[in-house]
Structure 1
Amino acid sequence: MLRALAVGATAAALVSTALAAPASAHGSVVDPPSRNYGCLERWGSKHLAPEMETQDPMCYQAWRADPNAMWNWNGLYRENVGGNHQAVVPDGQLCSGGRTQSGRYAAMDAVGNWTAAEKSNQFTLNLKDEARHGADYLRIYITRQGFNPLTQPLTWSSLELVTQTGRIAPAGNYTAQVNAGSRTGRHVVYTIWQASHLDQPYYICSDVNFSGR
């Protein structure tokens, strides 16, 4: 009996340790925040709080599906894509990078009322690169006017490419100026960060509410 209790305690300690910090340092868009980074910002210190279910239901379903999607907010990437993003990442799975990392980030694809950052139509996107991988490019898309992220799954045809950077030297943060045109209301900003250290693209959904100004 004592041995069983000891084994159980050890397992619980290991789970606690696994959830305590990201397994590895890479990066993601922090402004406007990616879905999982936003959930970690708002609920990381209180991820067991019952009020999350009513105050932030999309984060609630994500924490319940896999807490490591938030603790590992900076690991939503694939490898060896060869630039064929649309061939590798299916419609409806864009926010999880095609269910990368054994489906860890699948809850990011859930359709619903994700908390959205308020943005003017010209804004600065900020990507945090903890590992200083550098970038071959940042490719930034925004959903077309008329797309409703509260009720529709994200597809490639619902996106419009609005910005692409050139190569960026390794640093802790990268920025890009984004012009959303005449868009208003709720949209998804979709960023592909093609890291430079190897063929490692990151796929990042950020929810925004454009002021139209």
Structure 2
Amino acid sequence: MVTQSGTNSLYNWFAVLRSDGAGWMKGFIPGGELCGANATIYDFGGFDLARDDRPVTHLTAGATIRFRCNKWAAHPGWFRSHITKDTWAPSRPLSWDGLEPEPFDKVQDLPRAGGPGSENSDYLWNVKLPEDKTGRHIIYSVWQRSDSDETFYNCSDVVFDGGNGEVTSVGESGTLPPPSQSPSPSAPASPQPGMSHRTTSDWADGAPDRQG
């Protein structure tokens, strides 16, 4: 991935951004380039490579978990989460026909937690994961601002195997320890305007995604 897109793709806080996205998906981003979004300002094409050795988060189908999106700069908008079909496999790039047709979660103007403009400032919301999913999948997330055309695209590699947010295949050891404590999903914050400008979306304890 770094060979193709360089190290900037690992830490660029703008993430996979299309300033002309306006929420567009199919027909706007070419098939096979969903994770890199055919970005024109920065090269994220390495995220589109078909790999079966990416870090993954272990999840349980049908469970309710908490999503986190960093709010470095607040903007109103929508966050949509899609899941791959059962026929998808990590041995080929993600195309539009590899996604379920409807998002399994959609939220608007998320509540916020923490102070503004910092790495500890987040939007948190509870999400019920799709039922009847097993094995490797990608959660494809799209954040669409409602106050401009800026749209952010994100691929998160997961495996539905009864896990509770454990992350594996990270670093030299290949494994991170399971989270010591996950935020309770039973009490989401009260809704108020604003969403994250930085789509480093993750799960309760920092699951990997393809934005570094």
TM-score (norm 1): 0.63
C-alpha contact (below 8 Å) 2:22/2:151 kept by paired residues: no
C-alpha contact (below 8 Å) 1:182/1:212 kept by paired residues: no
Where in structure 2 are there 5+ consecutive unaligned residues?
114-120, 164-212
Please give the per-residue CA displacement for 1:63-122, whole angstroms capped at 9, x wherever unaligned.
Answer: 6631000120442111233333212211110000123424x1110101012111111222
Please give the per-residue CA displacement for 1:109-160, whole angstroms capped at 9, x wherever unaligned.
Answer: 01012111111222322211212233x11110000112112x1210112112
C-alpha contact (below 8 Å) 1:63/1:70 kept by paired residues: no
Matched, 1:111 2:40: no
Matched, 1:200 2:142: no
* CA shift in 2, pair 1:64/1:98, >3 Å: closer
Please give the per-residue CA displacement for 1:145-188, whole angstroms capped at 9, x wherever unaligned.
Answer: 12112x12101121122111123366632234132211011000
Match among 137, 140, 143 for residue 81 of structure 2: 140
* CA shift in 2, pair 1:98/1:68, >3 Å: same
SS in 2 for 1:207: strand
Once the two structures are TM-superposed, the CA of residue 212 in structure 1 deviates from its matched residue by 5.0
Please give the per-residue CA displacement for 1:32-52, whole angstroms capped at 9, x wherever unaligned.
Answer: xxxxxxxxxxxxxxxxxxxxx
How many angstroms apart in 2 are the aligned matches of 1:137 and 1:99? 20
C-alpha contact (below 8 Å) 1:188/1:205 kept by paired residues: yes
Structure with bigger helix share is 1
SS in 1 for 2:35: helix
TM-score (norm 2): 0.63
C-alpha contact (below 8 Å) 2:87/2:98 kept by paired residues: no
Aligned AA for 2:150? Q
Once the two structures are TM-superposed, the CA of residue 62 in structure 1 deviates from its matched residue by 2.5
Higher relative contact order (CA 8 A, sep 6+): 2
SS in 2 for 1:153: coil
Which residue is 1:89 aligned to?
Answer: 29
C-alpha contact (below 8 Å) 2:58/2:159 kept by paired residues: yes
How many angstroms apart in 2 are the aligned matches of 1:198 and 1:192? 14
Where in structure 1 are there 5+ consecutive unaligned residues?
1-60
* Percent identity for Structure 1 against Structure 2: 27
Q: Map residues 1-213 of structure 1 onto 2, 5 A cutoff.
A: 61-62=1-2, 65-102=5-42, 104-113=43-52, 114-121=54-61, 122=63, 123-134=65-76, 136-149=77-90, 151-160=91-100, 161-168=103-110, 172-174=121-123, 175-212=125-162
